[in-house]
Amino acid sequence: MSQTKNKQMGIKDVSRSVHVTRWHSVGVHRNQSVAEHSALSSFYAEFLLLAINPNATTEEHLIVLRYSLWHDQPEVVTGDLCTPLKRLLESYFKQETSPLEQVEKAICKQYKELSEAVSGSYLKNITKLADYFDAIVFLEDEGKEKQAQKIQEDIKKSYLKLISKSKQDYPQYDWEKANKLLTEALYSDPVQIDDLSFEEIMTA
């Protein structure tokens, strides 16, 4: 008896995202899974949205979180293509008509629907900043050799360029907060339980 093959990503594919890794062509001390990147991007997106637009609606928060969770899930099927190759494909096709983009939307309806939800809004910029954010922080901690440093520098430039563009396109929001958050993530000290007094803990 023949078994029908799935053509849409489902819960089985999501469970595999913990095993599919990124940064194949970059020297790193440990592998980062698609699942880890998706989760961290969602956390970073939440921080960015809260800082850049404190008055964001509940719906906007939900869209940002869901898009960040799903934005790279198609890589579970396609694999993680390096950014230069993605840019090369995009240079041959109009925006969002790259064959890779079409394949990703065809196999993952959540990605397709959420891409449409953020398209043409400042939320798309928030989620892309979160994507860059995770890459920068990961390479800061796990990158090795000059190649990883060079790639991190390039991603930082893209991050700053997107902040500048966002200021022009959506001046009503405080995009400079994205710079402050990245600096905090890279250089501030983490919370230590022994730094807290009993009184601070009990009154929190």
**Is-contact 115 63, C-beta < 8 A?**
no
33: its two tokens: 């899974």
111: its two tokens: 């990605």
User: Is residue 158 one of the residues assigned to a domain?
Assistant: yes
User: Is residue 204 one of the residues assigned to a domain?
Assistant: no
For residue 128, give every residue at least 6 positions away whose Cβ sits within 8 Å of its Cβ, in sequence order, or none: 162
More confident residue, 91 or 134: 134
61 lies in which domain range? 11-185
Q: What number of H helices and E strands is found in the chain?
A: 11, 0
Question: pLDDT digit string (tens) for 121-167?
Answer: 999 999 999 999 999 999 999 999 899 999 999 999 999 999 999 99
User: Is residue 194 one of the residues assigned to a domain?
Assistant: no
Q: How far apart, in whole angstroms, are the C-alpha atoms of residue 92 and residue 69?
A: 28
User: Is residue 198 one of the residues assigned to a domain?
Assistant: no
CATH of the domain at 148: 1.10.3210.10
User: Is residue 31 one of the residues assigned to a domain?
Assistant: yes
Question: pLDDT digit string (tens) for 26-70?
Answer: 999 999 999 999 999 999 999 999 999 999 999 999 999 999 999
Number of structural domains (the chain) is 1
| Residue 176 pLDDT | 98
> Between vectors from CA 77 to CA 75 and to CA 81, what angle results, nearest 5°?
40
| Residue 1 pLDDT | 45
